[in-house]
Structure 1
Amino acid sequence: MKIALLGTGFGQAHAAAYARHPDIEVVMFGRNPDKTAEAAGKFGFAACTDTGRAFEGDFDLVDVCLPVPLHAEYVLRALDADSHALVELPLAGTMDDARRVVEAAERSDRQVFVDMFERFVPANQALFDAVREGTYGRLEQLTLWNWTAHLWPGVSLGLGTLPLEAMHSDMDIVTRTLGRPRSIDVATVARDADSAAIEATLHFDGAFARDSVSSLMPMGWGARGGYTAMFSDGVVDAASSMGFDGKPTGTVTAYTVGGADELSLPPADPYTAMIDHVLACLRDEDDNAIAPASALDALQLTLDVDRLVNGDTA
């Protein structure tokens, strides 16, 4: 299998997962020759600065880890080149572009994948299972939080970027467990253009959800997050942390009238699990669980929050 990996920033997270598969050939594409060669060299991949070569029909999969405004365009170019496509979050910056990708994917015999990596987090899978199976009754209240320091140099996490960069995965959890809300309220605070916090409250019939994201934390905090899901017959509480050393920890505990029970979940790197899922689908060993159509509700909700925070920037 031959893969064109576009982007040397977050693309390195995907590169690390591909590097676990010695039977895969990867070419890493970037604009800066030195930066591209350095990033590709970390993983033993070839480097290229001519992005057009990714669409000459030589690659089985084009992996798009580029700025959001380019996502839809490059996925469509991959399909036109008869390649499968994987795109980083979000699928697109507008619903019109997202629907164009969905329609093109449905017309094509190639597969398109969206990096909904949070779906592969065991704690989130435990929540999805509990809702689907009614393990603890009906979900009535869901609180999600993600508070982080600036762990990625040069990356802005201000009000202009937090909704799409930090809330999108949470909105996927919300839509998969409660559906689309009937109304949304937001509160914000900004320290400067790159550091801010947002809290969104989403109202449903008989339930509500709250999502809190922040980039106001000091470096020693690292990144921490989780959820508390309150059901009619119990509570599921998940917490995870990642220090500045990049090492994650996490727990999931279920509380019922019978007491507390820490759930035993397998360790998993969600990015590796996502890449492994894509490769399994391309080998006809699995069905696509992160197709673009499945990401539309979460993207619409994220864009709704973004408009409340930043106004209509279209």
Structure 2
Amino acid sequence: MKIALLGTGFGEAHAAVYAHRPDVTDVVVFGRTPAKLKKFADEYGFATTTDLDALITDPSVDLVDICLPTHLHAEVAVRAMEAGKDVLIELPLATTLDDAQRVIDTQQATGREAFVDMFSRFSPANTYLREAADDQRYGTLLSLETENRTALLWPGYNLGLDSMAMDAMHGDFDFITSLLGTPDTVHVTGTEAPDGRGSAADVTLGYPHASARCSASSLMPQPYAMRGGYRATFTGAVLEHTTAAGFTGQGSSTLTAYTADGEHVIDLPDGHAYALMIDHVLACLAGREKNRIEPATALKALRLTLDVHHRLTNPPAAQQS
């Protein structure tokens, strides 16, 4: 399989996965900065180009992996599908619901496969929680708290309040809404570093019989890297997940159940979310699995993400709804 990887920022997390896959025979990386492209060539042995049009129309390319700035996702995805390519779109799908719908309409019109990197759906710890909630093995889910804290690990991504919801919280919103649905109330607070490099946000979501909180911060120092997890409170237990990782998302992960019987570490399957997501994409393209991350499935979380984004970037509106 030949993959066109577009973008030298977060695209490096995808590159690190492709580099270790024997079924990916060729990767060509698009970028605008020769120095950044050289890093991909030196570290991974990938070919590089600064010609986007030639790459997405190259008849030998099987999959276009779009890790460009979010405002370009819809435009490039539509162009690639119209050129006969399957596409993997880094989250979020688009910056507007109209653009998201344009991607969905193009997918349906062209018959191409389209995937959105909803990586949180593939996290072993998240899968365990989803199954526990579905079969009520610990009783009823009463509250869910997610946390994502990171240093500024990706060049060009300052993760100020203008990008915090879209780039750092969207995956958690997808996780929360998959478990609890669309919230009845949304309360948003945020703060930003004086230079705009880094911010923190806290979002409280209200439901008739449960509550959720999603917090994120990009104010951490570089040695902190990326850490986070969740705490899920059931009527009969608490599940606590902790992670520590670098810029590729790979690192350590622990899930612990606290019940009346004591503290128990849950044995999770191997694999980190990004790699498992790409496993799924390539399995779908090989006809072995059915697409679980089509663009249409991302709309519920995208609506919430865009709402929070608006509140964070328009402070007077950041009030209880």
- 1:284 is matched with which residue? 287
- 1:248 is matched with which residue? 251
Larger displacement relative to structure 2 (146-155 or 78-87): 146-155
Q: Is the 8 A contact 1:158 1:195 kept in 2?
A: yes
Distance 1:25 1:244, change over 3 A: closer
2: CA distance, partners of 1:35 / 1:206 = 49
Deviation at 1:247, TM superposition (A): 6.3
- 1:56 is matched with which residue? 57
1:167-208 CA-partner distances (Å, limit 9, x unpaired)? 101101111100000110012222221222111100111111
Within-5 A mapping of 1:70-89 = 70-89=72-91
Stretches of structure 2 that go unaligned for 5 or more consecutive residues are 316-321
2: CA distance, partners of 1:171 / 1:247 = 21
Distance 1:297 1:245, change over 3 A: closer
Q: Is the 8 A contact 1:220 1:243 kept in 2?
A: no
Find 2:211's aligned residue among 208, 212, 226: 208
DSSP 3-state at the match of 1:186: strand
1:134-176 CA-partner distances (Å, limit 9, x unpaired)? 2212211111111222233442021111111111011011111
2: CA distance, partners of 1:284 / 1:243 = 32
| 1:7 and 2:36 aligned | no
2: CA distance, partners of 1:220 / 1:80 = 43
Q: Is the 8 A contact 2:10 2:154 kept in 1?
A: no
1: CA distance, partners of 2:36 / 2:224 = 29
Q: Is the 8 A contact 1:144 1:226 kept in 2?
A: yes
| 1:274 and 2:277 aligned | yes
| Runs of 4 or more above 6 Å deviation | 243-247
Deviation at 1:106, TM superposition (A): 2.5
The number of residues matched between the two structures is: 312
- 2:318 is matched with which residue? none
Deviation at 1:290, TM superposition (A): 1.1
- 2:162 is matched with which residue? 160
Deviation at 1:34, TM superposition (A): 4.1
2: CA distance, partners of 1:284 / 1:205 = 41
1: CA distance, partners of 2:277 / 2:303 = 22
Q: Is the 8 A contact 1:57 1:83 kept in 2?
A: no
2: CA distance, partners of 1:47 / 1:239 = 36
Within-5 A mapping of 1:40-119 = 40-58=41-59, 59-119=61-121
2: CA distance, partners of 1:152 / 1:32 = 15
- 2:319 is matched with which residue? none
DSSP 3-state at the match of 1:268: coil
Deviation at 1:22, TM superposition (A): 3.5
Give, as a single letter, the amino acid of the residue that structure 2 aligns with 1:232.
T
Give, as a single letter, the amino acid of the residue that structure 2 aligns with 1:14.
H
1:78-137 CA-partner distances (Å, limit 9, x unpaired)? 110111000111100111101111122223321001111122211111111111222212
Give, as a single letter, the amino acid of the residue that structure 1 aligns with 2:185.
S
DSSP 3-state at the match of 1:184: strand
1: CA distance, partners of 2:31 / 2:250 = 28
Q: Is the 8 A contact 1:186 1:309 kept in 2?
A: yes
| 1:295 and 2:305 aligned | no
Larger displacement relative to structure 2 (187-196 or 238-247): 238-247
TM-score, length basis structure 2: 0.92
DSSP 3-state at the match of 1:241: strand
Stretches of structure 1 that go unaligned for 5 or more consecutive residues are none
- 1:133 is matched with which residue? 135
Q: C-alpha root-mean-square deviation of aligned residues, in Å?
A: 1.9
Give, as a single letter, the amino acid of the residue that structure 1 aligns with 2:165.
P
Give, as a single letter, the amino acid of the residue that structure 1 aligns with 2:213.
R
Distance 1:190 1:235, change over 3 A: same
